[in-house]
Amino acid sequence: MFGKRKVSSVILACVPLIDLLLLMFVIYDLLNGSYATFAHGLATAYIGFTIAFGPLLVGCVDKWFSYKFSQGPSPVPTALTGWQAVLDELKLWFRCILAVLIIYVLLILIVVLVDDPAKTHAITIWFKIPVFTVLFWFIFGPVWSMVFFKRSSN
């Protein structure tokens, strides 16, 4: 915006840095005597979400912003009917699976580094929540698109 490409590039480059700092703060907090809370697990979910969905979200917002404020091209709308809609839902569901895998890796990393089951017990619920997320996403994403499949009017 306003021809400040370097500033926007620096801001975008800081997004992964924020994820890394958040993870470091969670581990630091737990290693220094704190007991894990639901929020510590939520931090891993946030990081998993931003890694899996962040590039897609930033790209969509960037296209929309460019269109609205910088006379950029009109964003291509997402398909709402036909097989393309089903494929789009499957792609999003695969991103959901990627996010869950990242969450599990981070949770295991935290549990191994802290090495105290009493301190990390509260985040063990986060080993269950993502499974339900993947299941519900599959039902209300790709399956929903297939069940209520509408052919394009072309």
Identify the DSSP state of 77.
Answer: P
Task: Give the per-residue pLDDT at 80.
Answer: 78
Model confidence over 34-83: pLDDT tens digits? 999 999 999 999 999 999 999 898 888 888 888 888 788 888 888 877 88
Model confidence over 24-38: pLDDT tens digits? 999 999 999 899 999
DSSP 57-118: HHHHHHHHHHHHHS--PPPPPPP-SHHHHHHHHHHHHHHHHHHHHHHHHHHHHHHHHH--HH
Query: Does residue 1 have a pLDDT over 60?
Result: no
Residue 133 and residue 97 in contact, taking contact as beta carbons nearer than 8 Å: no
Tell me the residue length of the chain.
Answer: 154
C-alpha angle with apex 66: 49 to 19, nearest 5 degrees?
A: 25
Task: Report d(CA 60, CA 57) in Å as an integer.
Answer: 5
Residue 54 and residue 15 in contact, taking contact as beta carbons nearer than 8 Å: yes
Cα 113 from chain centre:
24
* Mean pLDDT on 8-37: 88
* Dihedral of the alpha carbons of 143, 95, 8, 20, in degrees to the nearest 10: 140
Helices 129-138 and 82-114: crossing angle in degrees, nearest 10, is 180
Model confidence over 74-116: pLDDT tens digits? 888 888 778 888 899 999 999 999 999 999 999 999 999 999 9
Task: Report d(CA 67, CA 73) in Å as an integer.
Answer: 6
